[in-house]
């Protein structure tokens, strides 16, 4: 039995997997030390506040909305056409919220770029995501209804011709 096979049996994955996991831990530790170097208390408060906001407010809110969208008789047949653009839009807002809400005063001084316009761009991207999702839903419904449309056309054609 080779050493790699014995390692895989004991560890459960290849040695490359272990190397990548250890490298990711090292990168995370480095990023954490760099992050906490400036304002450790502020960062800790932000993490605790974000966890509490997510777990106590946002998670119940979007869970209820998602369950409501899945109820029988909901206005849309596939909730994923709403979920995906909402998730991407929310993720973009999460990443760029200081700029979207104009909460960063030092942005222009640091980058030399104007801080305005992010709200409009985020709204346009969100609208485009939902429009693309709606177009995808319409195209898929159109293609799915193809056999039914062809059958109805045949029935109309057969009724119109004498036998």
pLDDT tens track, the chain, 163 positions: 677 788 888 888 888 999 999 999 999 999 888 887 877 788 888 889 889 998 999 899 988 888 877 777 766 567 888 889 999 999 999 888 888 888 777 777 777 777 788 899 999 999 999 999 999 989 988 888 888 778 888 888 888 765 5
Q: Which pLDDT does position 103 carry in this prediction?
A: 78
Q: Which pLDDT does position 60 carry in this prediction?
A: 93
Distance CA 28, CA 34 (A): 10
Closest CA relative to residue 94, chosen from 46, 128, 56: 46
Is the separation of the CB atoms in 85 and 126 below 8 Å?
yes
- Contacts with 90 (C-beta within 8 Å, 6 or more apart), sequence order: none
Closest CA relative to residue 88, chosen from 55, 141, 46, 131: 131
- Contacts with 104 (C-beta within 8 Å, 6 or more apart), sequence order: 98, 115
Is the separation of the CB atoms in 121 and 128 below 8 Å?
no
CA triple 156-159-162, angle to 5 deg: 140
Q: Which pLDDT does position 14 carry in this prediction?
A: 87
Q: Using DSSP, state whether 55 is helix, strand or coil.
A: helix
Distance CA 117, CA 122 (A): 9
Q: Which pLDDT does position 161 carry in this prediction?
A: 61
Q: Which pLDDT does position 163 carry in this prediction?
A: 52
């Amino acid at each position: 039995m080779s050493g790699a096979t014995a390692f895989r049996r004991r560890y459960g994955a290849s040695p490359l997997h272990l190397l990548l996991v250890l490298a990711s831990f090292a990168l995370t530790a480095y990023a954490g030390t760099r992050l906490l170097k400036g304002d450790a208390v502020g960062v800790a408060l932000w993490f605790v506040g974000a966890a509490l906001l997510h777990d106590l407010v946002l998670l119940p809110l979007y869970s209820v909305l998602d369950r409501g969208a899945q109820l029988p008789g909901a206005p849309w047949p596939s909730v994923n056409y709403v979920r995906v653009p909402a998730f991407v839009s929310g993720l973009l807002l999460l990443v760029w919220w200081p700029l979207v809400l104009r909460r960063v005063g030092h942005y222009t001084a640091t980058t030399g770029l104007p801080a305005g316009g992010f709200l409009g761009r985020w709204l346009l991207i969100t609208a485009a995501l939902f429009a693309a999702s709606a177009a995808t839903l319409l195209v898929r419904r159109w293609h799915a209804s193809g056999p039914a449309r062809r059958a109805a056309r045949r029935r109309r054609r057969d009724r119109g011709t004498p036998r």
